[in-house]
Amino acid sequence: MRRLIVSISSGLLAVVLAACGSGSGSGSTTSSTAASGGGTSAAASCTYQGVQPYLYKHGVLTVATDKPAYYPWFWVNNPSNGLGYESGVAYAIAKQLGFKKSQVVWTYEPFNASYAPGPKHFDFDINEISYTPARATVVTFSTSYYDVQQALVALKGSKIASAHSPSDLKKYVYGDQIGTTSLAYIEQNIRPTQPVKPYQTLNDVKEALQTHQVDAFVTDLPTAQYISAYQVPHSEVVGAFPSTGEHYGLLFAKGDKLATCVDKAITAIQQKGTLAYLQRRYLKIYTSIPTIKP
């Protein structure tokens, strides 16, 4: 999971058209891992009326995300406008389940609190939350709505920008946001010789890079692209790492029966081409990023 502060000009905003569809949602467990606690009873009637018994609040779909809501996943820190990949996905799922756009209600949930055990004050959370077996022991995940590729961000002209063989990568100082799979990727795949510096927010990580407290950090590829283009002056995406099978899933309370219907909705909008359309619109800032090995 990764995010960044929104800072976009009106000119850039004009380039992006309004996201298609009205409505969206989440699901039960990942497609590649049987981690869902959701039952199959909801599957028989995944209509607007059929899912009412499983909703946090009758008549509305309550969707959670963090603050601020970062581009390219959301637009101008406003999840309810339907712009950005995750906002678009949420409204597309809601529409598939029979909800009007006005029947989708957004609520705040901090990232690190989302996958904690216990009751939830939402139907699902959409916030670049990667499925992990550990998290799936206490919450339920939907099938994948985005397959993640991690990428390396550094300052232009820095040593790591030109020397990043697997053995070189181990020598640098990295920083990343606590609780993220990006930090875990550094520790488990790059395995640097110096401890990774943990930070509370991605903004702290970006500042650490700009002030030369760290040599580089790792984040998902779309976020890395946006950071380098608009957020951190004189930075660049050094390269993208090979996929490890990581993916984002919508997050539910453990065993939530709504998850089964949301999984079916994700499958439907994938087959319709909606997910591919939203990815082309919001997650393809650049078309060519070199692949590097950890």
**pLDDT, tens digit, 9 for 90 and up, residues 270-289:** 999 999 999 999 987 555 68
pLDDT at position 226 is 87
How many angstroms separate the CA atoms of 40 and 17, rounded? 38
Who wins on pLDDT, 34 or 172?
172
Burial of 130 (0-12, 13-18, 19+ CB in 10 A): buried
pLDDT at position 285 is 57
- Residue by residue, DSSP assigns 80-147 as GG--SHHHHHHHHHHHHTT--GGGEEEEE--HHHHTSSS--SSSEE-SS-B--TTGGGTEEEEEEEEE
**What mean pLDDT do residues 73-96 have?**
97
Which structural domains are found in the chain, ordered by start? Answer: 20-145+246-282 (3.40.190.10), 150-240 (3.40.190.10)
pLDDT at position 112 is 86
Q: How confident is the model at residue 4 (pLDDT cuts 50, 70, 90)?
A: very low
Q: How confident is the model at residue 254 (pLDDT cuts 50, 70, 90)?
A: very high
Residues in the chain: 294
pLDDT at position 14 is 35
**Residue of 115, 147, 149, 114 lying closest to 219 (CA atoms):** 149
Q: What is the pLDDT of residues 41-81, one digit of tens each?
A: 444 589 999 999 999 999 999 999 999 898 899 999 999 99
Who wins on pLDDT, 223 or 124?
124
pLDDT of residue 229 exceeding 60, the answer is yes
pLDDT at position 286 is 52
Q: What is the pLDDT of residues 144-201, one digit of tens each?
A: 999 989 999 999 999 999 999 999 999 999 999 998 999 999 999 999 999 999 999 8
DSSP 174: B
Report whether 241 contacts 152 (CB < 8 A).
yes
Question: Alpha helices, DSSP H only, in the chain?
Answer: 10-15, 85-96, 111-114, 159-162, 166-169, 181-185, 202-210, 221-226, 258-271, 274-282
pLDDT at position 284 is 76
pLDDT of residue 122 exceeding 50, the answer is yes
Give the bridge partners for 141, in sequence order.
251
**What mean pLDDT do residues 22-29 have?**
34
Q: Which residues contact 74 (CB under 8 A, 6 or more apart)?
A: 6, 65, 83, 84, 86, 87
Reported pTM: 0.76
Question: Alpha helices, DSSP H only, in 163-257?
Answer: 166-169, 181-185, 202-210, 221-226
Q: How confident is the model at residue 239 (pLDDT cuts 50, 70, 90)?
A: very high
